[in-house]
Structure 1
Amino acid sequence: MKYSITGQMAGLCALSLLLAACGDSPADEAPVTEAVAPVEEAPTLADAVTNAEGPFAPKDDCGALYGFDSFRGQLRRAITFQNVDSLAALADPAIKLDFGGGAGVDELKKRLADDPELWGEMGDAIALGCAAQGDTAATMPWIFASLPDGTDGLSTYLVTANDAPVLASADAESDSTGTIGWDLVKLAGDGPAADSEFIEVSTLDGATSGFVAEESLRPVSSYRILANRGDDGWKVTAFLTGD
């Protein structure tokens, strides 16, 4: 392809005008935007479970249940993407939602719209393992169906960390008397204050006691998912908290 002298001159003129309009001095240069460090996402309960070690670390007893892995995968995706229609399709039409008569898919949708944090509660329940009851029933998290006999579900917590510090008082600066990991603890004293960051607890055998950060404790009676397999496959039959 050939270029004419006239065309080249026109191009040079146009370039000159462009440089003049934008400015060629340092003061006229576009400001340099500083690189923004990526925001680190807070660790999730699923992250903590990955390398969990302790007497009550989550287990998965449901992998061998017919069709359960596929069902759980679909359930996990629905929760991850907060897809209410996909979740509804995996729920029993009469899904139980509380102990006061709350039930049904429409009520589930309403509660998720009113309180989006429930999506996280469902995700945590799945992350904490699964207990099988026979061939057609499953409970998530695993611990809810695996409590030692005589355990009071309303006053018992699961430590959700490998090395949660046990402190001498309800103060982050107080001395640590040791650590506790993936064990069950019960309330000690009068129970936690409403705004307390630390809860006084002791292990079920009483061998270890002290204050543990609330963020490392999950009530065993907290939200759980119950699922059953019927003629139309696996369905979520209950999403409950309390005892």
Structure 2
Amino acid sequence: MMRNIFFPLFCLLSVHLMAQDELYPPAIEISDPTLSKFLTELTLAVGKKDKDFILSHMDPNVLSSFGGNGGIDEFKEYWDFEKEHTTFWDELENILLIGGAKYEDGSGSYSIPYTFSDWPNEFDAFEHYLILGTHVNVRSAPSAENSKVLGQLSYRIVKLNQSPQDNSESESQWFNISTIDGKLTGYVHGKYLVSPVGYRMVLTKSTKGWVISSFVAGD
């Protein structure tokens, strides 16, 4: 079920690196009203699972994977788009909730989320994650029960120490992480972690307005 989304809280966002190992939430900063309008409409389309809106605002050569040739038919097949169980809506919602970077140069291209477009080069994108949230608990074990809170982190880039662990009781994923300075190591629930090479969307300004030109993950 679609979570409540308030567009001004997450969109169009500039990243401020306050310290070497911290990536703070971006501030709303976008100069093109057509992009703001499109992202608002896109957010509403996600809430309604409006397939017609998505398909009518898609580049004919949209890229869905790095191993494919692109195109709307390939997109439909890749995402099982016509089926009820498609995960496309969840992935797009997550991207919109994270938010994008600032846009003011009129380049005609916009990437979202900012964890992809503005990720600091000094942190390997496959070995680091962003903790998305404030006062996120770092625990002594991969469980919210019977584990000690070792500390809390807010919008911090952290190093991933191992693959996610399945919690048999909650069926959730936990990650073992460390802060860049190595002063805190523990487990963080996966819902608070964002990979810079996760799904991202590139929008392109065409003659008919903004369209989705790619929706991919990986490198």
User: How many Å separate the matches in 2 of 1:77 and 1:102?
Assistant: 29
Query: For the residues of structure 2 that align with 1:69 and 1:138, how far apart are their CA atoms?
Result: 11
TM-score, normalising length: structure 1: 0.71
Whether 1:178 and 2:154 are equivalent positions in the alignment is: no
Mapped partners of 1:238, 1:133: distance in 2: 21
Q: Is the 8 A contact 2:204 2:213 kept in 1?
A: yes
Unaligned segments of structure 1, at least 5 residues? 1-40
Is 1:84–1:109's contact at 8 Å kept on the other side of the alignment?
A: no
* Residue 141 of structure 1 pairs with residue 108 of structure 2: no
Q: Which residue of 1 aligns with 2:198?
A: 222
User: How far does residue 74 in structure 1 lie from its aligned partner after superposition?
Assistant: 2.0
Aligned to 1:169, what secondary structure does the other structure show?
coil
Where structure 2 has 5 or more consecutive residues not aligned to the other structure, the ranges are: 11-17
- Distance change (3 Å), C-alpha of 1:133 and 1:142: farther
Contact between 2:115 and 2:194, CA under 8 Å: does it hold in 1? Answer: no
SS at match of 1:239: strand
2:31 aligned residue: 64
TM-score normalised according to structure 2 size = 0.78
Per the alignment, residue 113 of structure 1 pairs with 82
Give the superposition deviation at 1:107: 2.5
Matched, 1:76 2:49: no
Q: Work out the CA distance in 1 between the residues paired with 2:163 and 2:89.
A: 28
Letter in 2 for 1:227: L
Matches within 5 A, 1:14-93: 44=3, 46=5, 50=9, 55-59=22-26, 63-65=30-32, 67-93=34-60
Code of the residue aligned with 2:204 in structure 1: it is N
Displacement of 1:62 = 5.7
Deviation at 1:86? Answer: 0.9
* Inter-CA distance 180–151: structure 2 relative to 1 (3 Å threshold): same
The 10-residue stretch of structure 1 (93-102 or 59-68) with the greater mean CA deviation from structure 2: 59-68
Residue type of the alignment partner of 2:121: D
Provide the C-alpha distance between the structure 1 equivalents of 2:141 and 2:189, rounded to a whole number of angstroms.
11
> How many residues are aligned here?
198
Q: Is the 8 A contact 2:109 2:204 kept in 1?
A: yes
Q: Percent identity?
A: 24
**Is 2:175–2:187's contact at 8 Å kept on the other side of the alignment?**
yes
Instruction: Give me the whole-angstrom Cα distance separating, in 2, the residues matched to 1:216 and 1:169.
Output: 16
Pick the structure with more helix per residue.
1
Contact 1:71/1:234 (<8 A) preserved:
yes
